[in-house]
Homo-oligomer: A and B are copies of this chain.
Amino acid sequence: MVEGNKIICELFNSKVKIKEIFSIDPQKLDRTDVPVTHISENELKKISMLQHPKDSVAVCHLEPQEKSEDKAIQLVLDGIQDPGNLGTIIRLADWFGIEQIICSDDTADVYNPKVIMATMGSFARVNVVYTNLTEYLADTENVNIGTDMEGENIYRFEKPQKLNLILGNEGNGMRPETERLVEKSVMIPRFGKSRSTESLNVSMAAGIILGQLFKEAE
């Protein structure tokens, strides 16, 4: 389920198939290739997952996404639970042109409506696949990179040609089985003096690390 004309319109040119749209203002969508049903604001309120529903809701067909070959820079998610974090990470991947995200089976579902909303449409452009992470990480030729306050300073880190950046669960980090398959670790130096500062949110840390990894591409 995808909500809001702005995102729905992005789907028309994507691999996502829209089955039906329910809209309070069908004329704004102006499509003849998809069935559009005119509904009232009250009806929209009842079907929407949002506190403040937007203009339309689209029901889309779920294509299970299959893993394609490893790319030069991939994200690997080990048990990310928060739908907002997953959505933000997908949006970030899209910004940096990362084509594939590989998730442990217990990572939040990419088709959860909260994830879909947080991606702002990016879910249609990034391949998000679920797999047995231990098997995948043991097999891949990409260098598996974890994050760890004892790791290499990201500002001095020499990027391998092909890499997986692994992001762990919000509370517990990576699983021990995953940690064992990590080949290198990076860290973002903390400039603030306070010892008690909570570590950065996982999606923010991913953004800052990707900002550095893509520096050389410039």
* Residues in A lying within 8 Å of B, measured CB to CB: 10, 13, 88, 91-92, 94-98, 120-122, 125, 153, 155-156, 188-194, 196-198, 200-201, 203-204, 207-208, 210-212, 214-215, 217-218
Copies in the complex: 2
A196 touching B95, Cβ below 8 Å? no
A155 touching B215, Cβ below 8 Å? yes
Give the secondary structure class of A's interface.
Answer: loop
Known: A88-B201, A88-B204, A208-B207. Is A190-B95 also a contact (CB below 8 A)? yes
A125 to B190, CA, bound (A): 14
B188 touching A91, Cβ below 8 Å? no
Our pick among B10, B121, B214 for the contact of A191 (Cβ within 8 Å) is B214
Chain B CB within 10 Å, residue with most, of A125, A201, A203: A201
A27 CB to nearest chain B CB (Å): 22
Contacts of A203 on B, CB cut-off 8 Å?
204
Known: A208-B208, A218-B153. Is A197-B88 also a contact (CB below 8 A)? no
